[in-house]
Amino acid sequence: MPTPLALFNPPPRLLMGPGPINADPRVLRAMSAPLLGQYDPAFRQLMRDTQELYRQVFETRNRATVLVDGTARAGIEAILVSLICPGDIVLVPVFGRFGNLLCEIAARCGADVRRVEATWGTVFSLETIDAALQKHRPRLLAMCQGDTSTTMCQPLEGLGELCRANGVISYVDATASIAGNPLPVDEWKLDAVSVGLQKCLGGPAGISPITLSDAVVERIEARKHLEAGLQAAGYQPGSGPRIASNYFDLAMIVGYWEHGLNHHTEATTMLYAAYECARILLEEGLAAAHARHRLHCQALQAGLVAMGLRLFGDRTHQMQNVTGIYVPNEVDGEAVRRTLLSDFGIEIGTSFGPLAGVIWRIGTMGYNAQRTAVLQTLACLAATLRIHGMNLPSDGVAEAIQVYP
């Protein structure tokens, strides 16, 4: 007989990388609630309540504010595969790894992808994006708000209006920025936005809130093709080409949320988590949450600078929840990360592409955007750097404390 496996007991970790982060204990408690059937009236009410909470999170009145089961990438793929028809021109301004991801997914959807590039550590001006729109005449513009690979936050004010003036649908991946940085969807006239729970919303990965303007819904409905087992008498398909994915077919997903179309079985426990993430955020208040993330990011950065470390990127367009730091020449960056994790139980991130091994990334987001997490990380990082032979002018803790009121 095979030996039974032991119960998995995860080691204690303080997750101070660019995400995921430690989930708020209130979210974990919510996830332990008993399961309900997806058509139970109590569960359907929970779905409606969750939609209303996320309208407030997104600062939108969009009726089609729903959740896609799967990690944040599920929301990205659902929007792109449901909007893009083969041959459509899609413009992607790329300023980090996750712009490349949008290009990858759009290409798999059959798009004619046109990309414009910004140096990693910088963002785009509205004038540059306008020039690219005039040159490429896309059907869709897709870009990130916050790209954790570079820690930059792309300014979006004016983008939606510019796209609408050119007859272009705008899509924004705000996974890394939502709740830690302002994102008033209606005020900025953004057409489609997707996010995840595992960063500033303070939950686990596994479900993706999205919001869609009426213009997006109209385009998706034109491609509506129900699977055979769901077609009622008199069914008429949309006039456009069928969406290439069944699971990520937003015409059917929106139908599930709004009319109870039996498209999939809801990820009940993840919906509990999403509800609680939004409830906690709105209880705090959006402006207060943005200010909290900004404060703890500033405290962390003050401590890092006091250690003698150098911050990465355009400081004017820094995300309020992730900081990039150049790896000092005196140490092996991966060895430092290993020691910090094994000896102190703290995880920080490296980066990708041209920044792999060049910078570390430290997140101050969600439940971990708090004083104790920041000070513990600074103290333990300083100790780790000294273990690896660096002489530091300070451990950064006193300087970080001075930032706090």
Angle made by CA atoms 68, 16, 11, in degrees to the nearest 5: 90
Q: Is 261 domain-assigned?
A: yes
Please state, in angstroms and rounded to a whole number, the distance separating the CA atoms of residues 78 and 69. 10
Residue 134, CA distances (Å) to 128, 129, 184, 224 in order: 10, 9, 26, 31
What's the number of domains the chain is made of? 2
Tokens of 405: 């009121």
Q: Are residues 242 and 299 in the same domain?
A: no
Q: Can you say whether residue 345 is alpha, beta or left, with left for phi > 0 and alpha for psi between -120 and 50 degrees?
A: left
Direct distance between the N- and C-terminal alpha carbons of the chain, in angstroms, rounded to an integer: 62
Q: Is 59 domain-assigned?
A: yes
Single out the residue in 220, 247, 282 at which a domain terminates.
282
Q: What is the CATH number of the domain that holds 81?
A: 3.40.640.10
Q: Are 377 and 14 in contact (CB under 8 A)?
A: yes
Q: Which domain holds residue 379?
A: 286-403
Q: Are residues 256 and 294 in the same domain?
A: no
Single out the residue in 257, 282, 307 at which a domain terminates.
282
Predicted pLDDT of residue 220: 97
- pLDDT by residue for the chain (405 residues), tens only, comes to 677 788 999 999 999 999 999 999 999 999 999 999 999 999 999 999 999 999 999 999 999 999 999 999 999 999 999 999 999 999 999 999 999 999 999 999 999 999 999 999 999 999 999 999 999 999 999 999 999 999 999 999 999 999 999 999 999 999 999 999 999 999 999 999 999 999 999 999 999 999 999 999 999 999 999 999 889 888 999 999 999 999 999 999 999 999 999 999 999 999 999 999 999 999 999 999 999 999 999 999 999 999 999 999 999 999 999 999 999 999 999 999 999 999 999 999 999 999 999 999 999 999 999 999 999 999 999 999 999 999 999 999 999 999 999
Minimal CA–CA distance to 144: which of 174, 105, 115? 174
Q: Is 226 domain-assigned?
A: yes
Q: Are residues 192 and 225 in the same domain?
A: yes
Q: Are residues 207 and 306 in the same domain?
A: no
Strand, coil or helix: what is 363? strand
Q: What is the CATH number of the domain that holds 300?
A: 3.90.1150.10
381 Cβ contact partners less than 8 Å away, ≥ 6 residues apart: 307, 340, 346, 348, 396
Q: Is 1 domain-assigned?
A: no
Q: Are residues 158 and 290 in the same domain?
A: no
2 Cβ contact partners less than 8 Å away, ≥ 6 residues apart: none
Q: Are residues 342 and 390 in the same domain?
A: yes
Instruction: Give the pairing of strands 112-117 and 146-147.
Output: unpaired
Q: Is 4 domain-assigned?
A: no
Q: Is 75 domain-assigned?
A: yes
Q: Are residues 206 and 115 in the same domain?
A: yes
Q: Which helix (H) or strand (E) holds 202?
A: none
Q: Are residues 271 and 291 in the same domain?
A: no
Q: Is 252 domain-assigned?
A: yes
Q: Is 142 domain-assigned?
A: yes
